Structure 1
Amino acid sequence: MPHLPIPCASALAALLLLSSQPALAQARTNVAVAASWHVTTLDPATDGYTFQRMGVGETLVDADEAGTLIPGLASEWSTSEDGLTWRFTIRPGVSFHDGSNLDAEKAVASLERALTQPGVLASAPIKSIEAEGGDLVIHLDKPFSPLPALLANYSTMILAPASFAQDGSTVAVIGTGPFRITSVAPPISMEVERFADYWGEPASIETASYISASRAETRTLMIESGDADLAVTLDPAGYRQLSQNDDVTVEVVPIPRTIMMNLNLARPQLADEETRRALSLAIDREGIAAGILGFPQASATQLFPPTLEGWHSHSVVPLAYDPEKAKAILAEVGWEPGADGILARNGERFALTLRTFPNRPELPLIAAAIQDQWRQIGVDLAVSVGNSSDIPAGHQDGTLDIGLFARNYGLTPDPVVNAADDFRSGGGDWGAMNWENPKVDEALAKAVETTNETAREAAVATVVEAVQAEPPIIPIAWYQQTVAHPKALEGVVIDPLERSYGLSKLRWAE
């Protein structure tokens, strides 16, 4: 596969200059996608999400817009009664983009290679992977019910053997999807064309291009100028601007990424549940969602957004904003204002430091808003804006008071793996700190191991209800995915799990 490197400083300008001219000739056959993510490598463990979204690489298991698992390159799957053996039937008649045929042996080789790389498979207790006739069989050391969901993650996409060098490095992305790569110019662009021998329904458009435009305002301008046909992730200003354009459609849906704070429960200020509930009540989520994020509907009433149907509860009491009630609760549990208005209890001043980072520019703004809102109930919150690595580092060495970040619960269609890491006793680097709840530990173990849907639903409900009631973490807002496109581009469907741009379904109006 050819590589066409373009100097980074001038890459975007060059691409826009070139794309603006053939765009007229290809207006009814090509779709140009503008997004914020670079294509830095060909490795599916690192940049596989872009190859998956562009319809190049596919996984054994797929998922629909609701997160329901559906057949992908595996036409069906089953597990043994003891949960230790999973069997995936490889779909017949599938060709890789280099013309070679997919079979169980090639799928095994691709997954075994994925096991050696960073990715979600590391969380599964995989003993071995082997081919048996037309089936790929995975043997486990212990039951692990979310295995099919892990096999829907981009890092497990099935690639042809020619994609990898002898040392295991990726030299090409030769997938099975409806589009095959024709060129890549890291880190800015990629070109794909319709794959004539695709096993499924063929795409309507002939070609598509991907352009990395890191600034949201650039993506907005690209839609207005016609240099992009599908712009993903707009800022509030761009959303409002394009919403007023009669030739453009702007759509928004919640995605399973939550802005949240993890709390160090080893701190005396954060140790008791009532104090944590008061802190949650003192956050104006609707104001933050409307004023900073630009979407009032982004206000989080619980940790998991509606997109994650199995984890979004309709029975828990929604999170609310009530600073007066927050003050009353704090007074009931012994917090009294000092001469400077800051609360104290047993000689301990209610002063903490929140760590966040600027990679997501809304986070420091949200931190400042919470700082002001908590000040009004007597909490002295300092804000430290540094690197994203400061939060897990502070978790590990115990120096973190509070971290503010965005947690992606959609890395797989089933968030149980992330949830198990976040809310087990002690918590993971991006989860609860020093929270101990034996019922939650038991429920998480059950949710990971059982394939009985009734038992699993009960276990998930236990976890969700405990996280809402005891707040070891405090949710702030749910991210919204925004997409803009010309009205003449039909068939656009926003994938809440961010697995696909839906290119194969797109068509230009006659």
Structure 2
Amino acid sequence: MKKLSIFKWLAVSTLVVTTTLAACGNDRNTSSKPGHEGNPKEQKTIQREDGIYSVDDFELTKETEGDNLGGTLKVGIVASSAFEGTLDFQFYGISTDADIIEWFNESLFYTDEDFQVTEEGPATIEASEDKKTYTVTIKENVNWHDGEPVKAEDFVFAHEVIGHKDYDGPRYDASFQNIVGMAEYHSGEADEISGFEIIDDKTVRLTFKEATPSLMNGGIWFYAMAKHYFEGVEIADMSASDQVRVKPIGYGPFKVESIEPGESVTLVKNEDYWRGEPKVDRVVLKVVNPDVVAQALRSGEIDMVNTFPSSQFADNADMNNVDWLGRVALSYSYIGFNLGTWNAEEGQINTDPDAKMADVSLRKAVRLAVNYEELGEKMYSGLRFPATTVLPPAYRLFHDESNPGFSYDPEKAKQILADAGYEDKDGDGFVETPEGEPLEIMFAARQGDATAEAVANYEMQAWRDIGLNVQLLDGALMEVNAFYDRIQEDDPAIDMYTAGWNVGSDVDPSGLFGAEAQFNFPRYIDDRIEELITEGLSDKAFNLDYRREVYNKFQAYINEVLPLAPTLYSLDVEPINKRVSGYSIERGNNDYGYHTIQLNAEEPVVN
């Protein structure tokens, strides 16, 4: 299922065990590991004697079976704290909010397993010969939950909100600035964006300054915003408005009935959904702490979850009242370094050459010191495995399988430090700076499930073993939202942190690594990164082989300069109660959507 594939590099992720920041979110309409199909009718027994699992142990689909009884589907949103409640594509910041939004709203476009736009979504798109102008046509039967049709002006309105000088969300970046007339609109010199031409109620043309190969697979903002619904609300007030936080609307399969802030959302089926009336009558989305999610599934308190904690899988692989689905995730964990600041007024990254972690030798030592293969096996039973580059393997066309990434080599890490002048001069077991000053590195990590502290301690001990005096910021794991706030605000008390990206369908890395990217949390930029980003979007990059070569160079260069150090890839693992069918996590599988989920028994199967 998971049809929301057009998220760019968007949202702060909440991978439930390691600390994670992310730009994006959910990729509902795309494929798993190449070649892995599985037999959806014969669910495997998910249990291995060695306790180490891989994607081949899971299925992608639970096909529709039995009679549909309607009823209420209970879904767990696995998170260690309340969801933020910014329930709008234009404004949300963390992926728990995205996990809620996707039940009542969706992208205008669906993609295939390689993130190429198909004709199967709520709208179609056609490119001009020069690849600069795109004609978007919204299908006639696509309507907002209040009955109003989704119009061309709603697509334009989403851009007007994001591009406005009073917009307080995180979306405005280089891809928006590429729209003809956006710069003039953003600066206040123009009242409208000249690059848009509304043809009729359902059709609009959008023109860009430069053609790029990303525009047709996520480089365009593929979401509409109900203009009539926000009438009278100032853009500066929208993110806190009732339209976003109390009664949001969409054109998805379910409609918001009520919200218990931070705790739960109750939805009812949208009988007018453009793909057909949903099979279940109601959906209750409820925040479930990762420490109790397994028990909630065993008891039937919830039927399914947005994601299952990797660290708990092995102990629950014998759960006999659920079927397990799994795929390679479009995400990775990383160690981030505080290397500069975000200038909100100029919309630019300012890299600080004097930052504590500015020496790349120091950053390389940090990455080599930790045995992430052992960590992935011991803490996550193989459901997380060493990351080699910042383009995860779910990018089948662009992930560089030949890049070896980083070996675990603490002796080499010590030598790198010594060669760079980091030596223990006072005999306390920790190195000083090349200038002879004490070096204390403050490390931020956020709360998660019961293993979160153990993971942080494992990493910190590895760093101390090579002579780095790494201390946990404030002496404790941080509450999730506070963690995100301090990272995004460039808190000078933080030197490095463990985090993660949920990336999106657009492989263009400018939204995370560009000079104008608010999601560039390390706050690092240099000429070579800018050059490679530009090359990846050039006319030459319309040739797939050329673009792949550029992104191989990009992956290698990031591993060289390490503004962030990728640590772990992961599997998305989703258990579903045996009374649930008609569900798939296969990317590009348009036979399924949230509207096809059905309940085959009145009560959940219990363990």
TM range (shorter): 0.7 to 0.9
Q: How does 1:339-354 map onto structure 2 within 5 Å?
A: 339-344=427-432, 346-348=434-436, 351-354=439-442
Kindly tell me: are residues 51 and 70 of structure 1, through their superposed partners in 2, closer, same or farther at Cα, counting changes over 3 Å?
farther
Q: How does 1:37-186 map onto structure 2 within 5 Å?
A: 38=83, 40=85, 43-46=88-91, 49-50=98-99, 52-54=101-103, 56-64=104-112, 66-71=114-119, 72-79=121-128, 81=130, 83=132, 85-113=133-161, 115-116=163-164, 117=167, 118-123=169-174, 124-125=176-177, 126=179, 127=181, 128=193, 129-133=196-200, 134-143=202-211, 146-150=214-218, 157-167=223-233, 169=241, 171=243, 172-186=247-261
Kindly tell me: are residues 64 and 355 of structure 1, through their superposed partners in 2, closer, same or farther at Cα, counting changes over 3 Å?
farther
Q: Which has the higher helix share?
A: 1
Contact 1:289/1:299 (CA < 8 Å) preserved in 2?
yes
Deviates more, 1:468-477 or 1:286-295: 286-295
Contact 1:32/1:209 (CA < 8 Å) preserved in 2?
yes
Kindly tell me: are residues 65 and 213 of structure 1, through their superposed partners in 2, closer, same or farther at Cα, counting changes over 3 Å?
farther
Q: How does 1:476-495 map onto structure 2 within 5 Å?
A: 476-494=567-585
Q: How does 1:430-469 map onto structure 2 within 5 Å?
A: 430-433=520-523, 436=526, 438-448=527-537, 450=539, 452-454=542-544, 455-469=546-560
Count residues with an aligned counterpart: 473
Residue 373 of structure 1: how far off its partner (Å): 0.9
Please name the residue that 2:330 is paired with.
256
Q: Which has the higher strand share?
A: 1
Contact 1:375/1:381 (CA < 8 Å) preserved in 2?
yes
2:296 matches 1:222:
yes
Gaps of 5+ in 1: 1-24
Kindly tell me: are residues 429 and 183 of structure 1, through their superposed partners in 2, closer, same or farther at Cα, counting changes over 3 Å?
closer
Kindly tell me: are residues 420 and 248 of structure 1, through their superposed partners in 2, closer, same or farther at Cα, counting changes over 3 Å?
same
Q: How does 1:14-413 map onto structure 2 within 5 Å?
A: 29-36=71-78, 38=83, 40=85, 43-46=88-91, 49-50=98-99, 52-54=101-103, 56-64=104-112, 66-71=114-119, 72-79=121-128, 81=130, 83=132, 85-113=133-161, 115-116=163-164, 117=167, 118-123=169-174, 124-125=176-177, 126=179, 127=181, 128=193, 129-133=196-200, 134-143=202-211, 146-150=214-218, 157-167=223-233, 169=241, 171=243, 172-200=247-275, 202-203=277-278, 205-236=279-310, 238-263=312-337, 264=339, 266=353, 273=360, 276-293=363-380, 295=382, 297-333=384-420, 335-338=422-425, 339-344=427-432, 346-348=434-436, 351-360=439-448, 365-385=454-474, 387-388=482-483, 389-394=485-490, 399=492, 402-410=495-503, 412-413=504-505
Gaps of 5+ in 2: 1-66, 182-192, 235-240, 340-351, 602-607
Q: Could you give the per-residue CA deviations for residues 204-235 of structure 1, whole angstroms, max 9, x where no partner exists?
A: x2323133224123433332222211123333
Three-state SS of the structure 2 residue aligned to 1:406 is strand
Kindly tell me: are residues 111 and 91 of structure 1, through their superposed partners in 2, closer, same or farther at Cα, counting changes over 3 Å?
farther
Please name the residue that 1:423 is paired with.
513
Deviates more, 1:328-337 or 1:304-313: 328-337
Distance 1:132 1:173 in 2: 28
Residue 429 of structure 1: how far off its partner (Å): 6.5
Contact 1:253/1:481 (CA < 8 Å) preserved in 2?
yes
Kindly tell me: are residues 341 and 349 of structure 1, through their superposed partners in 2, closer, same or farther at Cα, counting changes over 3 Å?
farther
* Greater relative CO (CA pairs within 8 A, separation 6+): 2
Kindly tell me: are residues 270 and 151 of structure 1, through their superposed partners in 2, closer, same or farther at Cα, counting changes over 3 Å?
closer
Residue 237 of structure 1: how far off its partner (Å): 6.1
Q: Could you give the per-residue CA deviations for residues 412-435 of structure 1, whole angstroms, max 9, x where no partner exists?
A: 42142xx32543469866444555
Q: Percent identity?
A: 19
Residue 483 of structure 1: how far off its partner (Å): 1.9
Distance 1:280 1:187 in 2: 35
Residue 475 of structure 1: how far off its partner (Å): 1.7
Residue 335 of structure 1: how far off its partner (Å): 4.7
The normalised TM-score by structure 2 is: 0.67
Kindly tell me: are residues 434 and 350 of structure 1, through their superposed partners in 2, closer, same or farther at Cα, counting changes over 3 Å?
farther
The normalised TM-score by structure 1 is: 0.78
Q: CA RMSD in A?
A: 3.8
Deviates more, 1:44-53 or 1:461-470: 44-53
Residue 337 of structure 1: how far off its partner (Å): 4.3
Distance 2:311 2:213 in 1: 43
Contact 1:180/1:193 (CA < 8 Å) preserved in 2?
yes
Contact 1:61/1:149 (CA < 8 Å) preserved in 2?
no
Deviates more, 1:306-315 or 1:232-241: 232-241
Residue 52 of structure 1: how far off its partner (Å): 3.9
